[in-house]
Amino acid sequence: MTVNRVQVVENILNANDQVAQLNRQVLDQAGAFSINLMASPGAGKTSFILKTIQALRPEVNIGVVEGDTAPVTIDADKINAVGMPAVQINTGGECHLDAVMLKAGLQQLPLLEIDLLIVENVGNLICPAAFDLGTHINLLVASIPEGDDKPYKYPNIYRGLDVLVINKTDLLPYIDFRMEYFRQGVEMLNPGLTTFAVSCKTGEGIDAWADWLRGRLAAAKQV
């Protein structure tokens, strides 16, 4: 039974990876640089997206795919309210987005008009790490209130990252969060990982993140 289960899981992931490759081709052809944004619930994913939009507009056209386990459009409505296209994907209770779900979302967006696509994955530190969506980079928003032990408890999601954002730094004076201990855990799993410490409340660190992202967008257009 164990062998059969492993084979089924491998088949699912292989099929997902094939669709992910097609998604990346679609995004490349449209000239849309894409980010798979992951985090635990309450880390500030949507707030971070809104701050990114604020920092980059009007020079960058941004589209958003919102993944959620329930059929609510609260986050997508927030993105639409600031004038950016957003679509909501209901995972039907699944704890992650997969490549097939994203493929359906891409078909609902004006990709040729989008420079940057941000995919807000379902709030979870386990399942999203296993599924390639076809985006160009994986980004995790960690937050101070979650605690400094998350790299040690959820190593897989940290291993597959291209960018780490540490959010809610304004709460450092009030929460027992050992930044050095946290960073040591990250470094063991993903040496030299590009990291930004930010506060979506105060705006700290957002400019540095936006400047880095502008560089990646410019480099992508030259390829």
CATH of the domain at 211: 3.40.50.300
Average pLDDT, the chain: 92
166-195 pLDDT, tens digit per residue, is 999 999 999 999 999 999 999 999 999 999
Question: Would you say residue 130 has pLDDT above 60?
Answer: yes
C-alpha 29/C-alpha 34 separation (Å) is: 12
What's the helix, strand, coil split of the chain in %, to 5? 50, 20, 35
Tell me which residue range forms the domain holding 206.
Answer: 2-222
Q: What is the pTM of this model?
A: 0.91
Report which of residues 223 and 197 the model is more confident about: 197
Q: Report how many domains make up the chain.
A: 1
Confidence (pLDDT) at 72: 62
Instruction: Calculate the CA 135 to chain-centre distance.
Output: 9
60-87 pLDDT, tens digit per residue, is 999 999 998 776 666 778 888 888 889 9
Question: Would you say residue 162 has pLDDT above 90?
Answer: yes
